[in-house]
Every structure is written in structure tokens, then in C-alpha cells.
Amino acid sequence: MTKLWRAIEESPLLMDVKDVWRERLGKDFEPLSRFLEATNIVATRLPGRTPWSSFKVVASDDSFVAFCEITGDSRIVPRTDVICHQLNSRQLATELNAALGLGRKPEWLDNSRRVWFLGNLQLELQSRPVYLSLHTASDLITEALHAAAAHARSPYLLLDLNSKRRDQKFDASAKIVDCKPVEIEQLISVTADGRLIAKSKSRELIASILGVTLESRLSGYVFQRKGKHRMLAFNSEIEITTETNGTWYIEQLLAKPNVAFRCTHIEALHAGMAEETSTGSIGEMVDMQALKGYHDRLREIAEELEEATSFNDPARQEKLGDERQAILDQIKSAQGLGGRVRHKFDAERSRKTVCKAISRAIEAIEKVHPEMGLHLQKSINLGLEVSYCPDVVIDWLF
């Protein structure tokens, strides 16, 4: 076991004087000392050379005396030697988050800060949530499992220190809540300079644990929608961006290279309506039945938000809030003054809407996949008509 994980496991309170941490971490102490933070707690005992020769710490005026009750030896020790240092679990959770590419700020689930929600895996790993448990007692590890399950409400990955600490109760509970436990050391390496990095096969191991089939590299060109995300490949490994109106428009263009679309037409396609070609405008953005469905869903979201608040479930609150805002934006774009459904948008308004959405989507793609972003920037023509005109025909996967 890596010294960092062993040192954490051997400290039941996650707190000790610096010399004890130094002994446990050995030559790795300096590069890993960022995971320790000083407290205002003074140790009551200091370790001796043997378990029966420890020193009792006694405060004496402005100094401290370490006294061995067995040998009678005593010595004055500086305050720095008796101040306890605790594991900075937030720093550890943040660096594990970065090493695994989970992409959000970790949050702790219990007052001891030993159970953390680290974030969600990549889309190709089904966006499964990942949790960290720093408990060492078997009963507390099982409690951590249930705390994570209540937060996740879906199958999840649990990182812990040592699989030998798990018992039959843990295994039975893990099966019930669909928890997939894995030792931290199986996924994370600690470099010589103390950095935490994902092991070369960690992605494949996680996929195996979750039962997910992976394709490590896609040779070809991908512009594929997966729920709220868009998978991108330009003869390269997969990258991911958020699905937007702009990426939807781009997909229509990529599917029909060298074909010009009127902005009124492509906007009508996205709205699911027929274009009124005689006027250069489109019909109602949504019908009254669809509007009723939107309002019904808003009422459901209000109830679900109230429930998520009562359960202290910030992840679900955020998800419901995003859905609520998306529906409100759709209603706002579809209705005019007095709540009336808009009719007959002119071609110029459609040009501004479609071209702006496409431009923003290309900017977002450039951030995660510069090569594809540059290709789209050069190949997509914007105006009253939009088109995709590449130098060579590309066989895109949608």
C-alpha cells in the first residue's frame, strides 16, 4: 500500500503530532505535507522508542515537558512538537477529483469530513457518481456506504482505503444499493514529488467494475448526441461538450454537406414545425398542448425541488433547477406579450438566432477540441442561409 494511504489508515483519528506523521510517511513526508494542517489541539502523549516508553505531555508555564512515567526521563519540548496535525481531507478530495477528471468541486457528506462526494465520471462511464470514504472501522465504512447511497440515489463508485476492512454486512449493503467499491490504490498513484495521478489502466478498471464496454479510441469523425452532451471526435479520442441548440443545428449541416439551409427552415425543423415559405417565416413555435405540458412539468419540478430540499440533496436541486430554467427559456421564446404564442418570425430574426447559436456552439467546441472547432469555423457558412462546405467529404458518425 502506498505510504500516504497506509499513513491515513494507521491514524484512526486522522490526527497526530508531526513527528508521527513524519515517521509514517518517511521520505515522502515533505512532498505530502500539504495534506496535513495544524490544529490548536495539544497532544497528551508523545511516542517513545518503544510502546511502553511513551512520554506524557505536561504544560509548564509557556513551555511543555515530556515525561516518561516508566524511565523517569523528561525533556522540554517546543510547542511545534506537541501540536496535532490533522489530515486535510478537503485537499485530498480535491486532488483525487482532479486526478480522475471528475470536473466539479467535492463536497463532504458527514460532519467528520470522512465521506466525500468527489464528482461524476465521464459520459462514457455513464456519468456515475464517485464517493470517498476515509473510515477505517468496518461499521463506519458501512455507514459511509449508506450516506453515499442516500446522496447518489443511483449506482455509484466508492473509493476506500483497504478492502480488508469490509465485512459481510458491508458486502450485503453494497449489493442492495448497487455500490461498486474499489481501493484508492487501485486507481491512483503517488509520484515521487507527491502528485496524485490516475493509473494508466484506471479508466479500464472502472469500466470493468461498472460493467461498461469502452472503446479507447475512435478512428473517424464523431458528432454524436448523448442526452445533454455531445461526443466529439475528429480522427482523435473522444471529447465531450454540452448539447445546445447550436450543436443541433451543426448536426443538420454536417449530415448534408454542401446543402444550403434557410435559417427559417432549420429553425422550424428544430421547433418541430413547418416553415411558411410564402412569407419567409415559420408557424407557431409550440402549440397550446405543448405549452400545457411545459406548465404541468413546472408544477412537478416545484414539488420535486421541495422534496430535494427536505432531503438536503444539492445535486438533485441543481439538476431540477437547470431543467426548470430550460423550460422557462423555451416558454419565453415561444410566447409574446400577454402570453400569446408567437406567429411568423421573419427571416432576419431567424438568421440572428441560428447564426448566433451556431457561433456559440463552435466557440464551446474549440475549448475542448480546437482541431474540430477550427474545421467547423472554416467550413460552415453563416447568413440567411447556412451550409457546411468542407474541403473533403467526411463520413460523420451521429
Domain ranges of the chain: 3-87, 89-210, 221-397
User: Which region, left, alpha or beta, applies to residue 127 given φ > 0 means left and ψ of -120 to 50 means alpha?
Assistant: left
Q: Flag whether pLDDT at 278 surpasses 50.
A: no
Closest CA to 347 of 261, 272, 270, 289: 261
Quote the pLDDT of residue 51.
62
Residue 329: pLDDT band (50, 70, 90) is: confident
Contact 362, 380 (CB under 8 A): yes
Residue 97 region, left (φ>0) first, then alpha (ψ -120 to 50), else beta? alpha
Nine-digit cell string for 343: 406567429
pLDDT of the residue at 323: 82
Give the C-alpha separation, 16 to 394, whole Å. 61
pTM score, whole prediction = 0.56
Distance between CA atoms of 357 and 255, rounded to whole angstroms?
18
And the C-alpha cell for 78? 517546543
Question: Can you give the length of the chain in residues?
Answer: 398
Neighbours of 274 (CB within 10 A): 11
Q: Using one digit for the tens of pLDDT, what is the confidence trace for 258-268?
A: 889 888 888 88
pLDDT of residue 337: 41
Separation of alpha carbons 187 and 96, rounded Å: 10
The DSSP string of 182-226 is EEHHHHEEE-TTS-EEE-TTHHHHHHHHHT----S---SEEEEEE
The grid coordinates of residue 86 equal: 490533522
Q: Residue 176 and residue 293: Cα distance in Å, rounded?
A: 36
Question: Closest by alpha carbon to 9, among 213, 211, 165?
Answer: 165
Over residues 274-299, mean pLDDT: 59
Q: Three cell numbers at 52?
A: 511502553
The crossing angle, in degrees rounded to 10, of helices 263-271 and 347-368 is: 70
**Contact (Cβ atoms closer than 8 angstroms) between residue 186 and residue 205:** yes
What are the counts of helices (DSSP H) followed by strands (DSSP E) for the chain? 15, 23
- Cell digits for 29? 513526508
What is the per-residue pLDDT across 118-172, written as a single tens digit (0 to 9) for each?
A: 998 876 787 889 999 999 888 999 999 999 999 998 899 999 998 888 989 999 9
pLDDT digits (tens, 9 = 90+) for 201-222: 898 899 999 988 765 444 478 8
What end-to-end distance do the CA atoms of the chain give, in Å? 44
Is 60 exceeded by the pLDDT of residue 277?
no
